[in-house]
Amino acid sequence: MMGLVQVIAAWTLPVIIAFIPTYAYFFRKIPVYETFIDGAKGGLPTVIKLMPHLVGMLVAVSVFRESGALDLLISALNPLLVPLGVPPEFLPMALLRSISGSGSMAIMTDIFQAHGPDSFLGKLASTMQGASDTTLYVLTVYFGSVGIRNARYAVKVGLLADLASVIASLAVVHLIFH
């Protein structure tokens, strides 16, 4: 099972990358290289459009984290959450998950280092990292790339879904591994 999943994870992308041009060239007679260049041209304008959004958001996230404000928020929330079965080491990661994917990944590797990936905490961190995405990043990039200013209820939904994934990860890991 483990070997199989490893193989699937390693093979999916290369197989897709090889299959698409091969099929298009041999079975559909498509000028694959010219078609590739034509599509690839769209990359630069999209990324340029969203650069201001990413810079603005990451500056705010960085100020919030580096100043110690995030730590303060964590220590304020801990007394409320520990009785509910939330390990204190897990909270910073849960809070960071929505605003910085690389940040929560860094905390996950800290947890792996300190407690081991096979500990309860390690499994919990792995599950949560895999079970959700960085809401603020997705929001910034997706809406930023097409110039949407009014996100309506999307921010609320994204953050509540993150809360749901934290609760779901806690519940599932308690259920399966305890």
Partner 1 sequence: MINAIWVFMIFAGVVVAALNGRMELVTNAVLNGAKQGVVVCLGLLSIMVFWLGLMKIAEAAGLVQSFAKVLYPLARFLYPSVPKDHPAMGSIVANMSANMLGLGNAATPLGLKAMRELQDLNPDKEKASDAMCTLLAINTSGLTIIPATVIGLRLQYGSTNPTEIVVSTLMATLLATTTAVLLDRYYRSRERKRWGGGP
- In the region spanning residues 14 to 43, those forming contacts with partner 1, defined by CB under 8 A, are 16-17, 20-21, 23-24, 27-28, 30, 32, 35-43
Q: Are 76 and 161 in contact (CB under 8 A)?
A: no
List the interface residues with partner 1, window 142-161 (CB under 8 A): 142-143, 145-158, 160-161
Alpha carbon 103 to chain centroid, angstroms: 10
Site string for partner 1, 118-147 (x = CB under 8 A): x---xx--xxxxxxxxxxx-xx-xxx-xxx
Per DSSP, the three-state class of 67 is: coil
Which residues are CB-contacts of 90 (< 8 A; sequence separation ≥ 6)?
111, 121, 124, 125, 128
Nearer to partner 1 by Cβ, of 28 and 83: the residue is 28
CA contacts within 13 A on the Cβ side of 78: 14
> Minimum Å distance from CB 76 to partner 1?
12
CB of 140 to partner 1, least distance (A): 8
Q: Which is nearer to partner 1, 44 or 80 (CB)?
A: 44
Tokens of 110: 């800290």
Tokens representing 67 are 């100043």
- The binding track of 51-80 with respect to partner 1, each residue x by CB under 8 A or -, is x--xxxxxxxxxxxxxxxx--x--------
Number of residues that bind partner 1 (CB under 8 A): 101
Distance of CA 143 to the CA centre of its chain: 17
Tell which positions 81-110 bind partner 1, by CB under 8 A.
99, 105, 108-109
Type of residue numbered 108: M
